[in-house]
Amino acid sequence: MTFKADLPNNIRSHLKSDNHKYKESGIHINGLKCPACGKNEAFAYFDKPFSIFCHRNNECGTNTPVKQVYPELWQDLAKQYPPTPIDKKATARAYLESRGLKSELIEFKQGFVDKHQTLIIEHDGVKFQRLIDYAGKDKTRLTIYKGKVFEMANVSDSNIIFVTEGVLNAISLEQSGRAAIATYSSGSVPEDYYEANKHKTFVVAFDNDKAGIKGIQKTIDCFKKLGITDYKIALAPKNQDWNDLLVNGLLDTNSIDKTLEKAYWQGELAFATSALEHFIIYLKRYAKTVTLIFEFDDRTYKGYMVPKKNGDDPEIKVKRLADCTIRLLHSVIDDTQDDKQRMEHYIELYSKREGKGRARLDSTELVRLDAFKTALQNHRQLFFGNGDDLTALAEYLFKPKPPKIRALSTIGYDDKTGGFYFPKFMYDANGKRINANADKYFQESNIKPFMDCSDSVISRLEPVDIKKFIALLYAAYDYKGLLAFGFYIAALFSHLIFEHYNFFPFLSLYGDPHAGKSFLSRLFNRCLFIDSEGQTMTASNTAKGELRKISQKSSLVCALLEGRKDKSRFDYDSILPLYNRNALYSRATTSQDNRTHDLPLKAALSFVWNHECFTLKPAKERVISLHFADSDLNDATGKAWTELNAYSPEQLASIGDYYSGPQNPDSHLRWCLP
DSSP three-state, residue 167:
helix
CA atoms within a 13 Å half-sphere pointing along the CA-CB vector of 490: 17
Helix intervals (H) in 183-274: 191-196, 210-226, 242-247, 256-270
Please report the pLDDT score of residue 68 as a whole number.
86
- Answer yes or no: are the C-beta atoms of 203 and 231 closer than 8 Å: yes
In three-state secondary structure terms, 625 is: strand
Cβ pair 100, 243 in contact under 8 A: yes
Domain ranges of the chain: 3-72, 77-270, 323-400, 406-445, 466-657
Judging by DSSP bridges, how do beta strands 42-45 and 506-511 pair with one another?
unpaired
**Which residues of the chain register pLDDT less than 70?**
335-340, 453-454, 538-540, 543, 563-577, 579, 583, 585-598, 659-674
Using the 8-state DSSP alphabet, how is residue 12 labeled? H
CB 347 within 8 A of CB 358: yes
Q: Which amino acid is present at 549? A: K
* pTM, full prediction: 0.75
The SS3 of residue 564 is coil
Q: What size, in residues, is the chain?
A: 674
Distance between CA atoms of residues 29 and 355, nearest Å: 46
Of 45, 15, 56, the residue nearest 32 (C-alpha): 15
Nearest to 181, CA basis, from 156, 214, 146, 209: 156
Alpha-carbon gap, residue 163 to 149, rounded angstroms? 9
* The CA-based dihedral angle spanning residues 23, 24, 27, 33, taken in that order and rounded to the nearest 10 degrees: 30
Half-sphere exposure of residue 612, counting CA atoms within 13 Å on the CB side? 19
Q: Dihedral through CA 578, CA 581, CA 584, CA 587, nearest 10?
A: -140
Is-contact 151 174, C-beta < 8 A?
no
Do 75 and 98 contact (CB within 8 A), yes or no? Answer: no
What pLDDT, on the 0 to 100 scale, is given for residue 673?
Answer: 39
Find, among 417, 409, 415, 557, the residue nearest to 495 by Cα. 415
Instruction: Report yes or no: 184 and 148 within 8 Å, Cβ to Cβ.
Output: yes
Over residues 557-608, the pLDDT tens digits come to 999 887 445 555 555 556 666 767 776 766 655 665 666 556 788 899 898 9
CB 527 within 8 A of CB 573: no
Among 152, 37, 59, 63, residue whose Cα is nearest residue 106:
152
Q: Which residues contact 38 (CB under 8 A, 6 or more apart)?
A: none
**Angstrom distance (rounded) from CA 91 to CA 637:** 53
What's residue 568's pLDDT?
Answer: 53
Q: Is the CA virtual torsion 530, 600, 435, 428 positive or negative?
A: positive
Asked if 249 contacts 275 with a C-beta cutoff of 8 angstroms, the reply is no
Q: What is the pLDDT of residues 292-329, one digit of tens each?
A: 999 999 999 999 999 887 778 889 999 999 999 999 99
Residue 662: its pLDDT value, please?
Answer: 40
Q: If you ran DSSP here, which 8-state letter would residue 368 be given?
A: -
CA distance 82 to 70: 21
Asked if CATH classification 3.30.420.40 holds for the domain at 77-270, the reply, yes or no, is: no
SS3 label, residue 509: strand
For residues 267 and 163, give the distance between their C-alpha atoms in angstroms, rounded to a whole number: 13
Q: Which CATH class is domain 466-657?
A: alpha beta
- The confidence score (pLDDT) of residue 547 equals 79
First to last CA, the chain: 34
Radius of gyration of the chain (CA): 31
Cβ atoms of 120 and 128 within 8 Å: the answer is yes
Report how far apart, in Å, the C-alpha atoms of 671 and of each of 283, 413, 460, 668 are.
Answer: 58, 14, 18, 9
Question: Kind of pairing, strands 325-334 and 109-113?
Answer: unpaired
Interaxial angle between packed helices 466-492 and 494-501, expressed in degrees from 0 to 180 and rounded to the nearest 10: 40
Cα dihedral: 571, 586, 590, 333 (round 10): 100
Question: How far, CA to CA in Å, does 312 sit from each of 20, 109, 288, 316?
Answer: 57, 64, 16, 12
The CA distance from 412 to 451, in Å, is: 12
